[in-house]
Structure 1
C-alpha cells in the first residue's frame, strides 16, 4: 500500500519558471536527497548543488505524517518506499494585514476585522512549528477536507449535518489562535488547485458591541452579510477566525440575570442566526477560540462540529518545542556546537539509555519535565530569556545553553510562586 506524502513547493516571487518545470526538478531532488526528519516534516531551504532550485525555489516542505514515526522504518531517501506524491506549488503573498470598517452611527466608525490574503509571509512555517499533545493538526486538516468532499458530493445537509465550525478552547498561551491561522494558511496551500484565492478574516469580536442600544446585533448582522457576499465567488475560500468567541456568545441564561439583558441576548441570537445562514456556503470555514468556555452559550457549542480542548504542553511536547528552539539558535550561530539533539522517537528506540550520544538529549528531556505547567507561549520565550539573563560571554555551547535554560526554568517557577504569594 502506497503512503501519501504532501510536497509543498514555495516558488520565489521573482521566478519566471513554470509550475510543471519546477515540479519536475523538485521531484528529482527529493527522490535522491537524504531525509532529516523534524516534527514529522522534511524541510529544504538551501540548494547548494542545485542552481535551478536556488534560483526559483524559496523552500520545500514534505509532510510525511506518521509514516516515518514507525519503529524500524528509517529510509535514507524517498525512493526507498512506495509513495504517492501530492505536489502543492504556491507563492507567498507579501501584502500586509488589511482592515475594513463598518459604520455604527453617523459619528461612529468601527474597525471590525482584519484580513489576510493567503498564503502570506507572516504565517509561513507556523504550521510546522506548532507542537501539541495529540495529532490535532492532522485531525483538523482531515476535517476540513472531509467537509469539502461532502459538499462536492452534494450530501444532503438535512440528513448528514456539517456546520463547518471549529471551537478550540483552553487556557491562554496554548496556541489556539496560532493554530487557526496556521490551518488557514495550510488550506490555502493544499487547496491551491481548487481555490484561486484564500482569505483569512479575523473578526474583532469586541468591536461588534456598540454604545448605542440595540446596535450590537445589527453590527453582527452587517459583518456576516459582508462575509456572505464574498462567499458567492466559488473560486474563493474564506476562513473566518473569531478569537475569544465568548464575547459574542455569552450564555443567554447569564444575560437574563443582568439588569439590561436585552441587547446581550440580541447579539447572541444574531450571531447564531448568521452561523446557520453562512453554513449553506461550502467555501467558508469558521474557526473560533475561547479561554472561558463556561461563558459560551450552549446553542453555539452545539453548532461546533469540533470542540477540542488544548491544554498546556506535556513533557514530550515541551521537549519538541525546546529542541526546535535549540536547532534554530544553532542554525543562526548563536549556539556554537556540532552536536545534535535526538528526537523522541530516536530516544525511544535507544530505550532512553544514557550514553555519549543521548546524554544532552536526556538532559533536555529532564528540563522539559521540570517545565510542567508552562504554556507553549512561555516555553518559546524561555530560550531567549536564558540567553538574556544568564549569558556571560564567549561561545555558547550546547552544554552551556542547557545550563542557562534550566536556570531560567527554575526562575520562572520562583517568579510564579512569588506572584501567587502577593495575590
Structure 2
C-alpha cells in the first residue's frame, strides 16, 4: 500500500494554553472553548506562533494568559491548512518559580556534614516559561528528544514486554561548556509537564548535585546515593506524578569510578557509582520517570553508564545560522522592552535572502540591492524601514560569522548585549515604570517619584550593532592573550 501523500496527511499540532493564576474556569471547559475558537477563526495554522484574538471571548479573556501553537511532529511545512490538523490542546497553570525544595545529604554521624544533595522543582514552572523556545540548535535536537519520550509512552501504554523490547528512559547530553545542555534538560522537563498533563496531573524535576554524593567518611558515599534515590522512589510511587531526574556534570561520578578502578582513588568512589547504576536500573521499570544527564567531558564518562543511555546526543557550539537566531532574539527582546528603537530584525530565512541578492547591483527592477545602497524612494517611509531592516540583517550575519570563528557558546552570545551596553553605550535614559505585569496582565502601581507618562529614550539599533561587534573583537584579543 502506497504511503499517504503529505497534502492529504493529518498532522498532530500541539496547542499550549497557559491559564492565569486567578482563573476559575475548569480546564476541560477552557480546552473546549479554545478548540471552538481555533476551528472557527483560522483556515491555516503557522508553526510556531502565538495565536491572537481569543481575548475577545469573555471566558478565555478572564482565564487565559497565552495560546501558543508550538509545533507538529515530523511536519515538513511551517503552515498547515486546518483540515490537515489534529489539534492536541494542552491546558496548564504554571507554579511559582520559587516553588522548590532542597534535599540534604549527611553522613548520619552527627558531625554536621550536611550538603545539598538535590533540589526539587514543581512543574510547569513560571520561571521557565519561554526557555524551550529560546534554545536554538543547528539540528533538530529538541524534536528528537520529544519524539523519544513519545515513543516510550506509546510502548508503555501498549504494555510491550520489557524482556523482549527494553528501554532505560535515560538521555545523555554531552558537549562543550555553555552550549545549553542543562537548560535543554530543564526546558524538556517543562515541556513534558505540559504535554503529559492529562496523563500526569503533577510533575517534578529533581536536580542531583553530583559532588554531594561523596562523603569524607569511608563507605558512607554509597549510602548517600541510596538515601537520595529512596526519596526519588517515594516520588515515583505516586503514579499521577511524572518525575524527571537530572544528573548534571555526570563525569564527576564516572571519572571517580575510572580512577578507583585504576587504583588512584579510594574504593569508596567505586561504591558510589555502582550504587548509582543499581538505582538507575531500578528506575527503568517505572513508567513515570525520565533520567537525564549532562557532561562536558565525554571521555571521562564510564562505559557502563553510557551503555544505559537510550539517546546519546552531542550538543555542539552553534554555527553561524544558530548564532544569528540567538542574536536576533536578543535584539528583538530589547526592541520589545524599549531599550532599542523600533526596528524589524528579519528572521534567518529573510536574512539569507538579503545576503544572496546583496552581491548583485540590481535585481532586474531598477532598485538597488547593494548592502550600502540608498533606500528606496517609492513609499518613502515603508521603503526606508525595509532597507534599514535589510542592513540590520546583513550586519548581524557579519557579527554571527565573527562569533562562529571564535567558537562562542550560546551562553557567551546571550551576554553580548549586556557587555555592549556596559562597555560602549553607557547609561540609558530612565525607562518608564512598568504599569502592567506581563505575565498575568494585572495592574501594578508605579513606583513613587516617577511620572505616569515617563518615557525612556531608546538607542538606535546601529549603535548596538557597533557595540556588540566591538565586544566580539575585544574578546578575540583577550582569548589570544589567554592562550599565549
Same fold judged by TM-score > 0.5? yes
Contact 1:46-1:59 within 8 A present in 2 as well: no
SS in 2 for 1:85: strand
Contact 2:11-2:75 within 8 A present in 1 as well: no
State which of 92, 95, 112 in structure 2 corresponds to 1:93.
95
**Residue 150 of structure 1: how far off its partner (Å):** 1.0
Deviations along 1:87-140, whole A, 9 cap, x unmatched? 000001114221122432232333211001100112111111111111100110
Query: Higher mean Cα deviation, 21-30 or 243-252?
Result: 21-30
**Residue 259 of structure 1: how far off its partner (Å):** 4.3
Contact 2:11-2:85 within 8 A present in 1 as well: yes
Alignment pair present for 1:257 and 2:251? no
User: CA-atom RMSD, angstroms?
Assistant: 2.4
Contact 2:11-2:72 within 8 A present in 1 as well: no
**Matched residue, 1:379:** 413
Q: Distance in 2 between matches of 1:67 and 1:275?
A: 31
Alignment pair present for 1:140 and 2:142? no
Q: Distance in 2 between matches of 1:388 and 1:47?
A: 41
Q: Distance in 2 between matches of 1:414 and 1:228?
A: 51
Alignment pair present for 1:232 and 2:237? yes
SS in 1 for 2:50: strand
Q: Distance in 1 between matches of 2:88 and 2:73?
A: 16
**Matched residue, 1:370:** 402
Q: Distance in 1 between matches of 2:268 and 2:149?
A: 34
State which of 457, 463, 467 in structure 2 corresponds to 1:404.
467
Q: Distance in 2 between matches of 1:332 and 1:51?
A: 28
Query: Higher mean Cα deviation, 342-351 or 324-333?
Result: 342-351
Q: Distance in 2 between matches of 1:371 and 1:181?
A: 26
- Give the greater-gyration-radius structure (CA): 2
Alignment pair present for 1:220 and 2:222? no
Contact 2:12-2:73 within 8 A present in 1 as well: no
| Paired residues for 1:2-401 under 5 Å | 2-27=10-35, 29-30=37-38, 32=41, 41-44=48-51, 52-65=59-72, 70=77, 79=82, 82-94=84-96, 95-107=98-110, 108-250=113-255, 252-337=257-342, 339-348=343-352, 352-354=356-358, 355=369, 356=387, 358-372=390-404, 373-391=407-425, 395-401=458-464
**Residue 225 of structure 1: how far off its partner (Å):** 1.7
SS in 1 for 2:187: helix
SS in 1 for 2:274: helix
**Matched residue, 1:417:** 480
Q: Distance in 1 between matches of 2:100 and 2:55?
A: 34
**Residue 294 of structure 1: how far off its partner (Å):** 1.2
| Distance change in 2, residues 1:333/1:257 (3 Å) | same
Could you say which structure has the greater relative contact order, defined with CA pairs below 8 angstroms and 6 or more residues apart?
1
TM-score between both structures, scaled by the size of structure 1: 0.90
Contact 2:107-2:224 within 8 A present in 1 as well: yes
**Residue 53 of structure 1: how far off its partner (Å):** 3.6
**Residue 260 of structure 1: how far off its partner (Å):** 4.5
